[in-house]
Structure formats: C-alpha cells, structure tokens
Amino acid sequence: MRIGILGDIHSNLEALTAVVGMLESEGVDAWVQVGDIVGYGADPVPCIERVRELGCTVCLGNHDAAVVDFMPADYFNQYARAAIDWTRAALRPEDLDYLRGLPLKIETRDYSVVHGSLHLPAQFGYVFSTVEAAECLSEQRTRVAFVGHSHVPGAYMQREGGSLRDLDVVFESEFTTSIAGYSRVLLNVGSVGQPRDEDARAAGAIYDMERGTVQVLRTEYDIPTAQQKIRDAGLPSVLADRLALGV
C-alpha cells in the first residue's frame, strides 16, 4: 500500500495538477489531504472537486475553517483574510457544506492526519521545533502521522525505546527516509500550493507501508498561470509574487 499525501493546496490548481500527476506516476493506492484545500489562490472550486474525485481522506485546515466561520478571521494577516473573504464568496453551497463536514483529526489503523498538531488540534499550532514535535508525538497513537500547516517539509522520528527529548530529524526540501527502528514518525508533507521553504516547486509525499519509507517529492509546475489567475481575481498581488520565491 502506497499512500499519496497532499498538503496545503491553497486553491492552486496548477500545483495540484502537477503533484497529483507526479504521485500517480510513482504509483499510489490511496490519497490523504492534510487540510487547507482553499485560501490564497484563485481556484478553490476546482481544487475541492479534484480532492473529492481522488477520494482523499481529508481533515480541516485553518483556512478551510475560517471560510466556513469556524474560526475568527482576526487570527489571520490582512492578505490571508482578503483571500478567505474572496474564497467564501467564490464557493458554491455544496463546497461550503463539504468544508463544514471535515474532521479536525483522523486516526486510522495505519496513520493519523491533522492539519497543525495532534496536541490541541483545534488551536492549529505549528510544528516548527523538536519541542512542538514532541508535544504532537505524545498524542500520536499510530506509528505514522501526517501534518501540514507550516508549508515546510520534514520528519521527526522517535527511536524504538527512545525518548521524545531525543528525536531524529530530517529537514530537507525533498527526501526519502526509512522508518525502520522508529516507533513513531511525524511527517510534515510540505505544501502543494504555497511552498515556504525557499523552494518554489510544489511538494507531495508518499508513505510506502510495505517498504517502510516516507518520502517528500517536488515538482515544477506552471507558476506564471497560477500567479496570473490570482492577479485577475483581484486577490492581493503579494500572494502571486510569493509563489515564485517559495516563501
């Protein structure tokens, strides 16, 4: 079983199309999406449709939550807030219903999914450090968990018999790492639609359960078209500019 994982799509259809194509060519049997399908970009409806067509297991992101008024807009900076208001008006009733129905956290036999952290999922905390990773791992009941939110890929791994204070960390823009010898693995899958690790390429991830590997892959995509759509929609131009920089 190979699971393809999509993080933080943010209404970027060009990036989503490229990442799905990349992961399909790698061969995946099931799909997971870690939240924030919408926000920032200009294609919220086609991105929701694509995620639904793929049959993704999906949890709720903070931008998804703000669009359906599950959390206050003053949590966000002015650019994110403008995009949330624009997105709310662009979505159809069925899209809003779909976002409203997403769970904050998912736990299957094989993995957990949450947008920010398994520690207080409704607060959408970030996992940026080993301290935050340890908080998240302490709530993790499955061997592997997938998160997004920071838009920066990486993995935090607790050795079998090892302590949460002494995690092994992978911090690369793309990597493949074996999970053999680790009792718990927290994978940040990076962002499809708005990477922030100074690598503008779109990210996607694979968990190969037979081989026991987690992987983050990158692909080029049509950034100029995604940028033009953002400008044409009247969204803040900074949201277009940043795509070329990967910030």
Stretch that binds Zn ion, among 5-13, 127-135, 166-174, 216-224 (CB under 5 A): 5-13
- CB of 62 or CB of 158, closer to Zn ion: 62
Assess 199 for contact with Zn ion (CB under 5 A).
no
- CB of 62 or CB of 173, closer to Zn ion: 62
Q: Map residue 197 onto helix, strand or coil.
A: coil
Between strands 2-6 and 30-33, the pairing is parallel
- CB of 76 or CB of 175, closer to Zn ion: 76
Give the nearest distance from C-beta 170 to Zn ion in angstroms: 21
Residues 119-178 binding Zn ion (CB under 5 A) are none
Among 14, 36, 64, 95, binds Zn ion (CB under 5 A): 36
- CB of 4 or CB of 7, closer to Zn ion: 7
Stretch that binds Zn ion, among 7-15, 69-77, 210-218, 235-243 (CB under 5 A): 7-15
Give the nearest distance from C-beta 243 to Zn ion in angstroms: 13
Alpha-carbon torsion, ordered 139, 106, 1, 143, to 10 deg: 10
Assess 197 for contact with Zn ion (CB under 5 A).
no
Instruction: Say how many Å lie between the first and final Cα of the chain, rounded.
Output: 33
Question: Under a CB-based contact definition with an 8 Å cutoff, are residues 164 and 134 in contact?
Answer: yes
Question: Under a CB-based contact definition with an 8 Å cutoff, are residues 175 and 134 in contact?
Answer: no
Question: Under a CB-based contact definition with an 8 Å cutoff, are residues 90 and 45 in contact?
Answer: yes
Question: Under a CB-based contact definition with an 8 Å cutoff, are residues 111 and 3 in contact?
Answer: yes
Instruction: Return residues touching Zn ion (CB under 5 A).
Output: 8, 36
